[in-house]
């Protein structure tokens, strides 16, 4: 009897809650739309003594970089204190939407580009439109258009890759290129490849000598090789347009099928690390740095974590395209810097964003062994891989040859690529079907955008 009564009461409460919840208010507010701030100024001193919160996902050398920039900025502007919180990448990108809804949340934060992170934040009106600051500081002239596009959306968030600035890059780059083990190439008497044909010839020679040409791992998804190859085959504009969701451009127009075909052929020829299907990314990476598991490795810059003597033991190649002499490469700033819509001192925050793109920021990066972008810098002469990376970034700067990460094209693209890549290498799908899967993933997303 008693139990029944309690159950009835409880049931009524739950039912009432469900009704209230589902009928009355849909989740997700529509915050007031943010337009670009109108009264913008470069004057940082005007703000008086202020403390700004900064959240970012940079650790180790990258963490040192941002710390040095904060010190430099505070020295320039003694009235400003920047309080930094570092979180790991996954943690920050998955909680940034909540942090930015909090009035005491970060004023400046590093987001991930693309729809998944930056696009969602912009759509939710959580970050400032930075157009007025772009005009004030002249970012349009300073930043190559292929990099600037990565931070731009239309103000109604129906398209990515043009329109207003919602984030800024930083004076550092994260590229995909080919690393090579210097000692091994010398030992085998092979010249450093200058293009894709050279690379394939070298790989054949390495294989004939009983060594492994390419370091690769397959357990937890590894897209650098496929996307690196795609940039060698694809047309720069088509690739950009595909990723920025131009429905007229299909994955087949972007060199995707060719890249998948090449990668599969390399795997079939035994050019990849033996048993790569069962090796995880971290193990393969550590082995490669230790000189095991391959002579070459397609990799994102900075991922090898080279320092000291190791910087000289590896070289870096930003190969020109398979046809033509242009250099196109996957590259972006390692973070999209946003200003929270709730930030009380957007002028100060914007000044810091500009500082993160300055000559000083690039030079600080090089001094710490990181790849500089946007500015010319003095390179140390005892760091072969870093010189290669910096030269690669400079070449992409001058060619305006950046293409964004392919997985920005839809929120589920990274999963789609990782899963199909495993299927492809296991012989369970073809390069053509892989390309079709990529198209249907993006087209599905575009259809949702339109609705």
Partner 1 sequence: MAIIQAAISTSGDGGPATEAPRARRRQRVRPTKSARRLRWIGLLFAAPGLLLYAVVVLWPLVQSIQYSFYKWDGVSAATWVGFQNYIAFFTDPVLRSTLGNVVVLLVFFSILPIVLGLLSAALITRAKQPGMAIFRWIFFLPQVLTSVVIALLFKRMYAPEGPINEALRAFGLDALTKNWLGDFTWALPALGLIGTWVTFGFCMVLFISGVSSISPELFEAARMDGAGAVREFFTVTLPGLRGQIAVALTLTLTAALRTFDLVWITTRGGPGTSTLTPAVALYKAAFVNPNVGQAAAIGVVMAVLCLIIALAITRVSERE
- Could you say whether residue 40 binds partner 1 (CB under 8 A)? no
- Choice between 80 and 414, CB closer to partner 1: 414
The token duo for 176 is 């995909």
- Could you say whether residue 419 binds partner 1 (CB under 8 A)? yes
Binding span for partner 1 by CB under 8 A among 177-185, 380-388, 421-429, 432-440: 421-429
- Give CA–CA dist 167/282, Å, rounded: 31
Question: Which of 140, 220, 269, 359 touches partner 1 by CB under 8 A?
Answer: 220
- Choice between 15 and 204, CB closer to partner 1: 15
Q: Tell me how far, at minimum, the Cβ of 29 lies from partner 1, in Å.
A: 7
- Could you say whether residue 103 binds partner 1 (CB under 8 A)? no
Question: Which of 55, 120, 230, 375 touches partner 1 by CB under 8 A?
Answer: 120
Q: Cβ–Cβ contacts within 10 Å for residue 86, how many?
A: 17
Q: Is residue 372 within 8 Å of 173, Cβ to Cβ?
A: yes
- Could you say whether residue 12 binds partner 1 (CB under 8 A)? no
- Give CA–CA dist 65/72, Å, rounded: 11
Q: Which residue has the tokens 């915050």?
A: 31
The conformational region for residue 160 under phi > 0 = left, psi -120 to 50 = alpha, else beta, is: beta
- Could you say whether residue 422 binds partner 1 (CB under 8 A)? yes
DSSP string covering 352-389, please? HHHHTTSHHHHHHHHHTTPPB-SS--PPPTT-HHHHHH
- Could you say whether residue 412 binds partner 1 (CB under 8 A)? yes
Q: Facing residues of 330 across strands? A: 403
- Could you say whether residue 26 binds partner 1 (CB under 8 A)? yes
Question: Which of 63, 163, 252, 411 touches partner 1 by CB under 8 A?
Answer: 411
Could you give the 3-state DSSP secondary structure of residue 223? coil
Binding span for partner 1 by CB under 8 A among 58-66, 145-153, 376-384, 409-417: 409-417
User: Alpha carbon of 402 to those of 125, 162, 228, 252: distances in Å?
Assistant: 28, 15, 12, 19
- Could you say whether residue 21 binds partner 1 (CB under 8 A)? yes
- Give CA–CA dist 391/379, Å, rounded: 10
DSSP string covering 237-253, please? HHHHHHHTT-TTS-GGG
Q: Cβ–Cβ contacts within 10 Å for residue 376, how many?
A: 12
- Could you say whether residue 112 binds partner 1 (CB under 8 A)? no
Q: Which residue has the tokens 């990448």?
A: 89
Q: Is residue 112 within 8 Å of 130, Cβ to Cβ?
A: no
Q: Tell me how far, at minimum, the Cβ of 414 lies from partner 1, in Å.
A: 8
- Could you say whether residue 55 binds partner 1 (CB under 8 A)? no
324-349 b/e (C-beta count within 10 Å ≥ 16 → b): eeebbbbbbbbbbbbbbbbbebbbbb
Q: Tell me how far, at minimum, the Cβ of 146 lies from partner 1, in Å.
A: 25
- Could you say whether residue 278 binds partner 1 (CB under 8 A)? yes
- Could you say whether residue 275 binds partner 1 (CB under 8 A)? yes
- Choice between 363 and 418, CB closer to partner 1: 418
- Choice between 78 and 278, CB closer to partner 1: 278
- Could you say whether residue 219 binds partner 1 (CB under 8 A)? yes
- Could you say whether residue 283 binds partner 1 (CB under 8 A)? yes
Binding residues for partner 1, rule: CB under 8 A, are 1-2, 13-14, 17-18, 21-22, 26-30, 94, 97, 116, 120-121, 123-126, 218-221, 274-280, 283, 411-412, 415, 418-420, 422-423, 426, 428, 448
């Amino acid at each position: 009897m008693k139990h029944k009564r309690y159950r009835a009461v409880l049931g009524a409460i739950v039912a009432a809650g469900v009704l209230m919840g589902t009928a009355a208010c849909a989740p997700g507010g529509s915050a007031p739309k943010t337009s670009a701030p109108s009264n913008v100024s470069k004057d940082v001193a005007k703000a008086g003594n202020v403390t700004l919160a900064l959240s970012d996902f940079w650790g180790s050398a990258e963490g040192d970089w941002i710390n040095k920039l904060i010190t430099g900025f505070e020295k320039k502007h003694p009235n400003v204190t920047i309080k930094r919180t570092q979180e790991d990448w996954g943690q920050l990108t998955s909680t940034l939407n909540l942090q930015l809804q909090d009035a005491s949340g970060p004023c400046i934060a590093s987001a991930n580009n693309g729809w998944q992170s930056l696009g969602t934040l912009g759509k939710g009106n959580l970050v400032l439109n930075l157009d007025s600051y772009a005009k004030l500081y002249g970012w349009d002239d300073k930043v190559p258009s292929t990099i600037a596009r990565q931070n731009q959306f239309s103000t109604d968030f129906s398209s990515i890759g043009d329109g207003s600035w919602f984030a800024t890059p930083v004076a550092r780059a994260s590229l995909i290129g080919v690393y090579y083990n210097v000692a091994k190439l010398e030992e085998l008497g092979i010249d450093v490849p200058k293009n894709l044909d050279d690379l394939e010839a070298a790989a054949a020679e390495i294989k004939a000598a009983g060594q492994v040409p390419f370091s690769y791992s397959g357990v937890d998804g590894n897209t650098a090789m496929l996307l690196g190859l795609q940039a060698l085959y694809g047309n720069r504009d088509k690739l950009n347009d595909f990723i920025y969701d131009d429905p007229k451009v299909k994955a087949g127009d972007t060199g995707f099928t060719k890249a998948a075909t090449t990668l599969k052929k390399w795997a079939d020829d035994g050019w990849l690390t033996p048993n790569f299907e069962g090796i995880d990314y971290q193990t393969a990476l550590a082995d490669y740095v230790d000189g095991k598991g391959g002579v070459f490795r397609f990799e994102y810059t900075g991922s090898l974590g080279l320092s000291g003597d190791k910087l000289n033991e590896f070289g870096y190649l930003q190969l020109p395209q398979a046809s033509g002499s242009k250099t196109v490469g996957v590259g972006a700033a390692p973070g999209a810097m946003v200003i929270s819509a709730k930030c009380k001192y957007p002028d100060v925050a914007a000044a810091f964003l500009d500082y993160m793109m300055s000559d000083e920021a690039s030079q600080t990066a090089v001094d710490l062994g990181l790849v500089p972008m946007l500015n010319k810098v003095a390179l140390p002469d005892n760091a072969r891989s870093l010189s290669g990376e910096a030269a690669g970034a400079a070449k992409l700067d001058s060619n305006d040859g950046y293409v964004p990460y392919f997985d920005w094209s839809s929120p589920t693209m990274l999963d789609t690529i990782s899963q199909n890549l495993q299927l492809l290498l296991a012989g369970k799908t073809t390069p053509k079907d892989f390309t079709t899967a990529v198209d249907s993933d993006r087209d599905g997303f575009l259809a949702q955008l339109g609705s």
